[in-house]
Chain A
Amino acid sequence: PEAAAMWRALRGARRPAAAETALRRGLGQAAGPRSVRQLREAEEAAPVFQYAGKAAKRKDRVFVWGFCYSGALGVPSFVKPDAGWKKPRRIQPTPYRLETEEKISSAACGYGFTLLSSNTTDITKVWGMGLNKDSQLGFQRSRRDRTKGYEYVLEPSPIPLPLEKPQQTRVLQVSCGRAHSLILTDSEGVFTMGNNSYGQCGRKVVEDETYSESHLIHQLKEFDSRVVQVVCGQDHSLFRTKKGTVYACGWGADGQTGLGHYNITSVPTKLQGDIAGVNIIQVSSYGDCCLAVSDEGDVFGWGNSEYLQLASVTETTQVNVPRHLPFKIGKIKEAACGGTGNIVLTEEGNVFVWGYGILGKGPNLIETAVPEMIPPSLFGWSDFNPDVRVAHVRCGLSQFAALTNRGELFVWGKNLRGCLGTGRMEDQYFPWRVTVPGEVVDVACGVDHMVSMVKSFT
């Protein structure tokens, strides 16, 4: 009974209906070893505890890990500890649970800041934390001085959006670049905030504009159809519409806007080239290179090619018009771009990497222009588990992440300030499991931190 009481206190069960005195004997009974019948009767009379009912739902959680000092992890006690003797934590090497008020449906990691969004109809739909020197998290009014804003936001703070119908519009997706962020809604277009010195927010560049403590949130509505995906590169933005067209604005010196020139674009303009007329179902970018996947399984690329990302079609290091990449690896389902390396996932569930850096095939493969497959046995596939397959691929600046259909997260690449989440500080040359207490549903990779959306097991 003492042990049962201790377990109850630890796990918070409901009080049982039956009496608790079944296991404790009264003073009228003799001591001594109990017979088998007595033990069996005591066992049957013992109370039954219920910890989870039949309709218990799985809980949605958010886990963060990586570099803490920028505040991008959203845990203030890492930067400013709540007791004087505690030291601030520079790196969180393993996944740490972040308490959120609502279920987070989309997350994005920028360069030192994070955005979380929920598709609720409440007034507060987007929270931001981390660096805010260019108002990439909107205006966060300081509590000490009502006229100034915070430069670093240490906790997930709501971002007020100028919505026409705040209790009907839902936020579908968020995306973050180096110093700007994009928020996609279902009926009110795209909201952009942050640095606009290259026109990446989709509005005209104003000379000598101060971006810090700015209240300006720009709204973009002029597209040929509803925008279904927004992607931020380092200093440019890409918009994919329902009709399958891609629009771009922002810095173009590496050709990452794909508009045929190397200048800045401050108004979202439609891309032509090899993707004109093609129904694009996914776009991806994080650095200065961009990839797009069509509904027929072809992949197109444009932008920076200094690291052999587009070397299979051209020798030039900057490609400013989308080009079809003729890879014979099967129908492609999903693509992701990092700073120097690219990764694609085919319909059969195979993962291919190319580019420069730690690509995931051991320390000997540093650069390749042609996609190389990563053996599925590294993702948990074996004769014992033949139906393990990679479901999604994501890219940070120099890291890669893969999610399997079993809910496991594999990471590899440069372990910048502990962003891989493996618990070690060394670089990882082949896919390694991250131990997360739950089934990983989605992951967002940044430069030096990562955020994952996880469903608990039971």
Chain B
Amino acid sequence: LNAAPRRPPRQHVRFLPVPSGGDGGTTGLVATRVPVLADHPLVRGPQFRRLKIGAGHRLDVKASGVFVLGMGHGNKLLTDLYNCHLTKVYTVGGLFGKATDDFSDTGKLVEKTTFDHITREKLERILAVIQGTNHKALLMHSNIDMKTQEAYELAVKGLIRPMGKSPPIITAIRCLQFTLPEFQLEIHCLHETQQYLRKMVHEIGLELKSSAVCTQVRRIRDGVFTLEDALLRTQWDLQSVQKAIWDCQLKVKAELEKTLG
């Protein structure tokens, strides 16, 4: 960044003596524009000594996926994005037959159970109920009076959402793959933590009269940022970062205007 061409130094007007011809005579003063010495690279030093990087929504050590960072002035946008309360989408992989103490497959084994009675239909029934109770929680935590016409209209359009603090809420959940003993779910949620999603997998296992552990939690979307915008480990260099910031500026601005007005 510091090797990039800097801003040209400021110029100011100085009255400089004209170098006169050699032998005596009047020394005149001419107004000339000269660069300010204070802007000289040797005086200023490197332009960037520190760069503020802020993190968006947290991501566990055991989880993976899209992780939003704000750089420099982008940190101010991070607070605004947080206040938009947009949903995040995760792909959660689970395994039936085991239960561990921290709900993931690397934890200490607590119990092993059979799972041959589980069918995709039973799993989808449980997911429908989870969606139903979470939808109810969504309406209740949104702090809108249910008796008003405005609440009815927002509920019809599906725009009711908690715009403040709330416990984790799952807005949509569905089963992507189901081959016993493994299964994969896609979860859209708000205000959640990855450990909450692992606990949800464990509770689905309990509800199906078996047990389940979570093998994979991967965030595939965080608000407006999807996997396509995310930079891989091999792309963590200046040009890719600059290009990524440039590409998503428009999206972020549109989303902030739409939600926060």
Binding site for B on A (CB under 8 A): 3-4, 7, 23, 42-43, 46-56, 361-364, 375, 377-378, 380, 382, 384-385, 406-408, 426-430, 432-433, 435, 439, 457-458
Contact residue among B122, B136, B152, B158 (Cβ-Cβ distance under 8 Å from A361): B152
- Determine if A457 and B122 form an interchain contact, defined as CB atoms under 8 angstroms apart: yes
| B7 neighbours in A (Cβ, 8 Å) | none
- Shortest C-beta distance, A17 to chain B (Å), equals 12
- Shortest C-beta distance, B131 to chain A (Å), equals 8
Does residue B20 face the partner (Cβ distance < 8 Å to A)? no
Residue of B nearest to A16 (CB): B112
- Determine if B110 and A457 form an interchain contact, defined as CB atoms under 8 angstroms apart: no
Q: Considering the complex of A and B, which 4 residue pairs feature the smallest CB-CB distances, nearest first?
A: A362-B152, A52-B209, A51-B209, A362-B149
- Determine if B133 and A458 form an interchain contact, defined as CB atoms under 8 angstroms apart: no
- Determine if B133 and A435 form an interchain contact, defined as CB atoms under 8 angstroms apart: yes
- Determine if A43 and B109 form an interchain contact, defined as CB atoms under 8 angstroms apart: yes
- Determine if A54 and B117 form an interchain contact, defined as CB atoms under 8 angstroms apart: yes
- How many angstroms between the C-alpha atoms of A56 and B117 in the bound complex? 8
B106-162 residues at the A interface, CB under 8 angstroms: 109-114, 116-117, 122, 125-126, 128-129, 131-133, 135-136, 139, 146-149, 151-153, 155-158
Contact residue among A4, A380, A457 (Cβ-Cβ distance under 8 Å from B132): A380
- Shortest C-beta distance, B114 to chain A (Å), equals 5
Contact residue among A4, A47, A363, A377 (Cβ-Cβ distance under 8 Å from B148): A363
| B132 neighbours in A (Cβ, 8 Å) | 380, 406, 408, 433, 435
- How many angstroms between the C-alpha atoms of A243 and B65 in the bound complex? 64
- How many angstroms between the C-alpha atoms of A439 and B129 in the bound complex? 9
- How many angstroms between the C-alpha atoms of A433 and B138 in the bound complex? 12
Residue of B nearest to A382 (CB): B158
Given A363-B152, A384-B172: A407 touches B125 (CB 8 Å cut-off): yes
- Determine if A7 and B110 form an interchain contact, defined as CB atoms under 8 angstroms apart: yes
Contact residue among B99, B109, B126, B139 (Cβ-Cβ distance under 8 Å from A457): B126
- How many angstroms between the C-alpha atoms of A353 and B151 in the bound complex? 19
- Shortest C-beta distance, B190 to chain A (Å), equals 15
- Determine if B125 and A384 form an interchain contact, defined as CB atoms under 8 angstroms apart: no
- Determine if B152 and A439 form an interchain contact, defined as CB atoms under 8 angstroms apart: no
- Determine if B152 and A406 form an interchain contact, defined as CB atoms under 8 angstroms apart: no
- Determine if A378 and B122 form an interchain contact, defined as CB atoms under 8 angstroms apart: no
Residue of A nearest to B153 (CB): A362
- How many angstroms between the C-alpha atoms of A46 and B116 in the bound complex? 18
- Shortest C-beta distance, B261 to chain A (Å), equals 24
| B174 neighbours in A (Cβ, 8 Å) | 384
- How many angstroms between the C-alpha atoms of A361 and B152 in the bound complex? 7
- Determine if A429 and B146 form an interchain contact, defined as CB atoms under 8 angstroms apart: yes
Binding site for A on B (CB under 8 A): 97, 99, 101, 109-114, 116-117, 122, 125-126, 128-129, 131-133, 135-136, 139, 146-149, 151-153, 155-158, 172, 174, 207-210
Given A49-B114, A52-B210, A377-B158: A457 touches B147 (CB 8 Å cut-off): no
Given A52-B210, A53-B117: A408 touches B128 (CB 8 Å cut-off): yes
Residue of A nearest to B139 (CB): A432
**What are 5 of the A-B contact pairs (CB < 8 Å)?**
A362-B149, A363-B148, A382-B172, A408-B128, A458-B117
- Shortest C-beta distance, A193 to chain B (Å), equals 39
- How many angstroms between the C-alpha atoms of A406 and B132 in the bound complex? 10
- Determine if B209 and A380 form an interchain contact, defined as CB atoms under 8 angstroms apart: no
| B208 neighbours in A (Cβ, 8 Å) | 457-458
Most buried by A among B99, B129, B208: B129
| B147 neighbours in A (Cβ, 8 Å) | 363, 426-427, 429
- Determine if B157 and A52 form an interchain contact, defined as CB atoms under 8 angstroms apart: no
- Determine if A457 and B207 form an interchain contact, defined as CB atoms under 8 angstroms apart: yes
Residue of A nearest to B109 (CB): A43
- Shortest C-beta distance, B215 to chain A (Å), equals 15
| A53 neighbours in B (Cβ, 8 Å) | 117
- Determine if A51 and B149 form an interchain contact, defined as CB atoms under 8 angstroms apart: no
Most buried by B among A3, A362, A433, A435: A362
- Determine if B149 and A363 form an interchain contact, defined as CB atoms under 8 angstroms apart: yes
User: Besides the contacts A46-B111, A49-B112, A50-B113, what 20 more A-B pairs have beta carbons closer than 8 Å?
Assistant: A7-B111, A52-B117, A52-B209, A53-B117, A361-B152, A363-B147, A382-B158, A384-B172, A408-B129, A426-B147, A428-B146, A429-B146, A429-B147, A429-B152, A430-B151, A430-B156, A433-B136, A439-B125, A457-B126, A458-B117
- How many angstroms between the C-alpha atoms of A427 and B151 in the bound complex? 14
- Determine if B117 and A48 form an interchain contact, defined as CB atoms under 8 angstroms apart: no
| B122 neighbours in A (Cβ, 8 Å) | 457-458
- Determine if B135 and A433 form an interchain contact, defined as CB atoms under 8 angstroms apart: yes
- How many angstroms between the C-alpha atoms of A23 and B111 in the bound complex? 11
- Shortest C-beta distance, B46 to chain A (Å), equals 48
- Shortest C-beta distance, A65 to chain B (Å), equals 16
| B109 neighbours in A (Cβ, 8 Å) | 23, 42-43, 46
- Shortest C-beta distance, A429 to chain B (Å), equals 6
- Shortest C-beta distance, A61 to chain B (Å), equals 15
| B149 neighbours in A (Cβ, 8 Å) | 362-364
- How many angstroms between the C-alpha atoms of A103 and B209 in the bound complex? 22
- Determine if B111 and A378 form an interchain contact, defined as CB atoms under 8 angstroms apart: no
- Shortest C-beta distance, B173 to chain A (Å), equals 9
Residue of B nearest to A54 (CB): B117
- Determine if B153 and A458 form an interchain contact, defined as CB atoms under 8 angstroms apart: no
- Determine if A54 and B116 form an interchain contact, defined as CB atoms under 8 angstroms apart: yes
Contact residue among A49, A363, A427, A429 (Cβ-Cβ distance under 8 Å from B111): A49
Most buried by A among B148, B149, B157: B149
Contact residue among A50, A382, A384, A430 (Cβ-Cβ distance under 8 Å from B152): A430
- How many angstroms between the C-alpha atoms of A23 and B135 in the bound complex? 42
- How many angstroms between the C-alpha atoms of A406 and B152 in the bound complex? 23
- Shortest C-beta distance, A186 to chain B (Å), equals 32
Residue of A nearest to B113 (CB): A49
- Shortest C-beta distance, A402 to chain B (Å), equals 13
| B210 neighbours in A (Cβ, 8 Å) | 51-52
- Determine if B116 and A457 form an interchain contact, defined as CB atoms under 8 angstroms apart: no
- How many angstroms between the C-alpha atoms of A458 and B116 in the bound complex? 13
- Shortest C-beta distance, A342 to chain B (Å), equals 20
- Shortest C-beta distance, A15 to chain B (Å), equals 14
- How many angstroms between the C-alpha atoms of A378 and B135 in the bound complex? 11
| A378 neighbours in B (Cβ, 8 Å) | 155-156
- Determine if A377 and B156 form an interchain contact, defined as CB atoms under 8 angstroms apart: yes
Most buried by A among B97, B135, B136, B209: B209
| A458 neighbours in B (Cβ, 8 Å) | 117, 122, 207-209
- How many angstroms between the C-alpha atoms of A435 and B210 in the bound complex? 23
Residue of B nearest to A375 (CB): B156
- How many angstroms between the C-alpha atoms of A380 and B210 in the bound complex? 28
